[in-house]
Structure 1
Amino acid sequence: AGTPSNCFDFAFAASKMAIEHMTPVMLLTDGFLANGSEPWLIQNMNDLPAIQVNKAKEGEKYLPYKRDAEKLIRSWAIPGTPGMEHRIGGLEKMDITGTVSYVPENHEVMTHNRDQKVKRIANYIPEQTVYGDHDADLLVIGWGGTQGHLISAVRELREAGHKIALAHFNYINPLPKNTGEVLGKFKKLVVCEINLGQFANYLKMNHPKYDYLQYNKIQGLPFTVAELKNHFIKLMEE
């Protein structure tokens, strides 16, 4: 989530993703969002997108770890349905059948399955958007509760005649499919974070061909628009 008002939207999106892709989803917020406030229109439940549940079909042979070819997700069995009894718990399960497995090769197969399942979620999340000048030299990169300050700083600099752009990420693992394309359009990339550079390091790991500048603040306080503008101007003048 990036603003107090879209916390609901991303909480709903996280729940939808967890159910439809059968995987744990972590929603990241911070103290700035928790203590912030802004007007928010209460959602009409009928306007929210439907959550599609991949239910097992009665009458068909139920294989608890059989996955569909598109999302690599398993089907959900409603507890108590005759013929769909299966083991749950922390012990390793055999691919397809779901029986307890102690086979090393099966552990590797299941690990790859889960890894690919998460990566394929990128096919179902929005592509990364860019706010500002697409022909600018400097791209500001942010995520989470820094959104308001970054947008304000970039907007004010553009109003003053500077060319600058912002990519604020709402999806981290997986990253949007067009992340590499977005990063490759700009000469300078600066990642702004209220930490020592967690997202910058993550981008370096996933897109190592680009150079990332970092602007970090670890004072228990949010960025100010003034300090962001001053730093961005220095980068644009270098």
Structure 2
Amino acid sequence: PASDILHQLAEYKHFGVITFQAEDEIAAIGAAIGASFGGALGVTGSSGPGIALKQEGIGLAVMTELPVVVIDVQRGGPSTGLPTKTEQADLLQAIHGRNGECPVPVIAACTPSDCFQAAIEAFAIATKYMTPVLLLSDGYLANGSEPWRLPEFEQLPKIEITHATQPNDAAGFMPYRRNAELVRPWAIPGTPGLEHRIGGLEKQDITGGVSYDPANHEHMVRTRAAKVAGIKPIGEDLILTGPNRGKVLVIGWGGTFGAIKAATLRMQEDGEQVSACHIRYMNPLPARLGELMRRFERVMVAELNCGQLAMILRARYLVDAKVLSKVRGQPFTIEELVRAIRQVIQGEEPTLSTVAEENTLSGG
């Protein structure tokens, strides 16, 4: 379901957009990294299997600290799986799918129009923090639509890009001398006086030379992690529907936004103290998320996988999150969510109807 991105971008040659369909996924991520090394905005996209192939390249972008945006339009898996059906099973792959300590920011769009906004935020974060960014969509969003007013160009968030133009040290250019946000400078190859080397081998802090020093390696690993952990959201990191305290908080992410919001509003109309929290920034997670969850008696996570976000929330916040999971290649229905929320209110585990029950209800 990611193919439409290339098809659409190919129409914008008159805006200086250069596109090509690489021979494989590894070549595509390599080309995007090369474009970023040359000072351009590099972007590549695929679905789950292709992202798996790109992971080594994403790790290279983390090590070299170059701004690349990688779009994952999730589909049913594993392997070829359900290539025309939706799923949200790539969250753990997006956050943890590379070798080594290799953190990257992850943003998840929640509506078709939010895909536009989230892409701007992904590029803004990538260029501001010199890091690859994973942007998650899914088949439901990719094949969906909604009324959307084209924004005025002047009203769009500015993506500030600063390239180094002169040495930053008396001894010459230091490619890993960082600013207050732990971001290294972005120097375009060929700029006089800014000659430097980058690559997949660990770098000496500040100078950028190859280093096998144990203390330096730990310092660089923790520095890269701290940079990502300190990223401040460009847009909304979470969307809250309802009061910030109550009986049940329904947490979702990605393309489940519409169904969860509709189900939550229906429960509120019935007088239930239910709110919904939709997370857009999956890594780092919103700073207020932990406190928000503690204000509710119960938490339910609804996602189109076997509980990947719930596992993250349990590990980080020690919250007893109930899980409503669905992996049928279909989005949630409002009725499924309302039923599950009522179960959680009553202290039960949330469940989906079985396939046999659905066949009976539909007359099959």
Asked if Structure 1 and Structure 2 have the same fold, meaning a TM-score greater than 0.5 normalized by the shorter chain, the answer is yes
Offset of residue 143 of structure 1:
0.3
Letter in 1 for 2:340: H
The number of equivalent residue pairs is: 236
TM-score of the aligned structures, taking structure 1 as reference length: 0.93
Contact 1:72-1:113 within 8 A present in 2 as well:
yes
TM-score of the aligned structures, taking structure 2 as reference length: 0.62
Matches within 5 A, 1:89-108: 89-108=199-218
Post-superposition CA distance 1:161-214 (Å, at most 9, x none)? 222100000001101111111111111000001000010111122212x21111
Aligned partner of 2:54 in structure 1 is none
Q: Which runs of 5+ in 2 are unaligned?
A: 1-108, 348-364
Aligned in 2, Cα 1:96/1:125: closer, same or farther, shift over 3 Å?
farther
Aligned partner of 2:150 in structure 1 is 42
**Equivalent of 2:140 in 25, 32, 57:** 32
1:165 aligned to 2:275? Answer: yes
Q: Which runs of 5+ in 1 are unaligned?
A: none
Contact 2:307-2:325 within 8 A present in 1 as well:
yes
Distance in 2 (CA, whole Å) between partners of 1:183 and 1:105 is 38
Contact 1:5-1:38 within 8 A present in 2 as well:
yes
Of structures 1 and 2, the one with the larger relative CO (CA 8 A, separation 6+) is 1
Aligned partner of 1:227 in structure 2 is 336
Aligned partner of 1:217 in structure 2 is 326
More strand by share: 2
Amino-acid identity (%):
44
Bigger Cα displacement from structure 2, 123-132 vs 18-27: 123-132
Aligned partner of 2:177 in structure 1 is 66
Post-superposition CA distance 1:100-157 (Å, at most 9, x none)? 1122221111100100000000466645442113332100000001000000000111
Matches within 5 A, 1:62-211: 62-69=173-180, 71-122=181-232, 126=236, 128-208=238-318, 210-211=319-320
Distance in 1 (CA, whole Å) between partners of 2:166 and 2:254 is 43
Letter in 1 for 2:177: K
Please give the secondary structure, in 2, of the residue aligned with 1:38. coil
1:14 aligned to 2:122? Answer: yes
Distance in 1 (CA, whole Å) between partners of 2:224 and 2:193 is 26
Distance in 2 (CA, whole Å) between partners of 1:123 and 1:219 is 32
